[in-house]
Every structure is written in structure tokens, then in C-alpha cells.
A = this chain, B = another copy of it.
Amino acid sequence: MDTWMRFMSSDGGIVFGRVESGYLHEYESLDQPVPTGAVLSTRALTPLAPCAPGKVIALWNNYHALAAKLDKPVPTHPLFLLKPADSVIGAGEPIRRPLSYTGKIVYEGELGIVIGRRCRDASVAEAGDAIFGYTIVNDVTAADLLNESPHFPQWCRAKGFDTFCCIGPAIVSGFEWRHARLVTTLDGVERQNYPLADMVFSPAEQVSLISQDLTLEPGDVIACGTSLGVGSIRDGATVSITIDAIGTLSNTLRAARADTVAQVRSNETTNAV
């Protein structure tokens, strides 16, 4: 297993590479994993999300235990929505409550698949080879928006806000997902603890089937869906999601600033049609 991270250096540049014993061994990029020869102490670097996906594909209903609880059949093809690139933040960055939204915000701890090479109409074997590694995703959701309209479920809006896709802290290649568990805590209290082996579609199956719908690009992330124990985050609370071999992804929900909210409300009045 190798651990891969992405950082901002003190001059504002972005560096990516393999991390070992507190040092980053820099590589060209995720899809060109060639060492540059540079070795940097991670202490002088600011961690970022470990990749910069062009898109995040987020699965719904991909664990047997959750499907049973929801009393839904398991799907025959991955059911997914898209989260935009601007929704991505790294470990330690704040989740920002949208200025226009006062409702319930929900965490979902998930395994993330990171794509290493362009992938279209891939067989399961080809799909397995296209996986660069695995990370952790908090698929944050403005739950009250999902069914706000009785005519159109707003999956992309509810899950697409800036900062609503926490990814990190690292990508681990050679990770044996079948033997791992995912544990989510909310302000230190355990809320999710489930085995990844309970997935409906395995990672290679997800990549293969989704690659028949759309082209997956290097750095794209598939959030594999969540299982039991999803819950809401109060403003100021911290969600920490751990998969032992990958690390812990912690993010705190920051309340919207009252002065900025007032400005947006005033814009909304102007927008009213």
C-alpha cells in the first residue's frame, strides 16, 4: 500500500506525491505517476483534497444493510447523481452552511474510488486496472431540499453546494477494501460503523458499469454510497470519518455569517418573480 496526498506549498503551488515518514516524494500527477525527484517535508505544506476531480459520481442505495432498512430492492445498475468540482474540499476545511439555507444538513461517510486513467465502456478487469486508489468521502446533503419540490427531486442541488464534498485525507493504492470498516463519529460519538464488504456493486463493478454511461477521467471520484447511521450535523459540530488504512477525514460545519445572510435575503427579494 502507498499513501498519496496533495498539498499547497508556501508559494501557492500545488504538489502531489507519495507520503512516507513525514516526507512527500513528489510525482508529476495522478495520471502521470512519475517521480520528479523532489522530496519535501510535509510540515511546511498545507494539505488539500488528495485529488481535484472534474466530477464526483455519488451512489445511492449501494449497501445491503441500508437497502434492507429502507425496504428498497438493491439496484441492478448503480443509481447515481453528480456533485460538481467546486463542491470539493479537503480534510480540515470547513463545510460552509449555504447562506440561503437554514434546514437540516446531513453527513454520509463513504468509501471513495479515485480514477487513475480515462475509462469508457470498460470490462470489470479493465475497470479494476483504472482505479488509482481509495479515499474517504463525506457526501454532505442539505436534506430538506431533496424533496422540497414534489415534482422534481433536487439531488444535484441538495448535494452540490460548495464545500459539500469532503475528500481525504489521502488516497491509498493497493488498499484491500473487502476487509475494511468505515467508522463515522459526530463530535466524538460513533454514528456509523459498517463493513465495506456489504457493498452491492464492488468498486470495479461500479467503475465498469458507470463507464458505460459516461467517460471517467483521471482524478474523478466515485463516492460508493453510505450505509446505516446517517444523521444531521449541528452548526459547529465536527464529522470524522475513519477507514483504518486510509486515515481520518474531519470537517466542521460552519454557520453562515449573519451579515452575509442578510445580503443574500435582500438579493432573493429582488429575484422574486
Chain A residues within 8 Å of B, Cβ to Cβ? 54-55, 60-61, 72-73, 75, 79-87, 98-100, 120-124, 149, 151-157, 160-162, 200-201, 205, 208-209, 212-215, 217, 260, 263-264, 267-268, 270-271, 273
Instruction: Find out whether the CB atom of A214 lies under 8 angstroms from the CB atom of B162.
Output: yes
Chain B residues with Cβ under 8 A from A80's Cβ? 154, 156-157
Which of A152, A155, A268 has the largest count of B CB atoms less than 10 A from its CB?
A152
Minimal beta-carbon separation of A251 from chain B (angstroms)? 18
Q: How often does this chain occur in the complex, in copies? A: 2
Chain B residues with Cβ under 8 A from A213's Cβ? 98, 157, 160-161
Chain B residues with Cβ under 8 A from A267's Cβ? 121-124, 208, 212
**Cβ-defined partner of A86 (8 Å) among B81, B100, B215:** B215
Instruction: Find out whether the CB atom of B82 lies under 8 angstroms from the CB atom of A149.
Output: no
Chain B residues with Cβ under 8 A from A208's Cβ? 267, 271
Contacts A82-B160, A121-B264, A160-B82; A98 near B215 (Cβ below 8 A): no
Residue of B nearest to A199 (CB): B273
Chain B residues with Cβ under 8 A from A215's Cβ? 86, 162
- Extra inter-chain contacts (6) besides given A60-B152, A79-B154, A98-B213, CB under 8 Å: A84-B214, A121-B263, A124-B267, A124-B270, A160-B213, A201-B273
17 contacts between A and B (CB under 8 A): A54-B84, A61-B151, A75-B152, A79-B149, A79-B151, A81-B155, A82-B82, A82-B160, A86-B217, A87-B214, A98-B212, A100-B212, A121-B264, A123-B267, A155-B155, A160-B214, A200-B273
Chain B residues with Cβ under 8 A from A86's Cβ? 214-215, 217
Chain B residues with Cβ under 8 A from A154's Cβ? 79-80
Contacts A75-B149, A153-B153, A212-B264; A84 near B87 (Cβ below 8 A): no
Cα A263 to Cα B123 in complex, Å, equals: 9
Minimal beta-carbon separation of A183 from chain B (angstroms)? 26
Minimal beta-carbon separation of A254 from chain B (angstroms)? 15
Instruction: Find out whether the CB atom of B124 lies under 8 angstroms from the CB atom of A156.
Output: no
**Cβ-defined partner of A156 (8 Å) among B61, B81, B121, B201:** B81
Minimal beta-carbon separation of A73 from chain B (angstroms)? 8
**Cβ-defined partner of A121 (8 Å) among B99, B152, B200, B209:** B99
Cα A152 to Cα B75 in complex, Å, equals: 10
Chain B residues with Cβ under 8 A from A160's Cβ? 82, 213-214
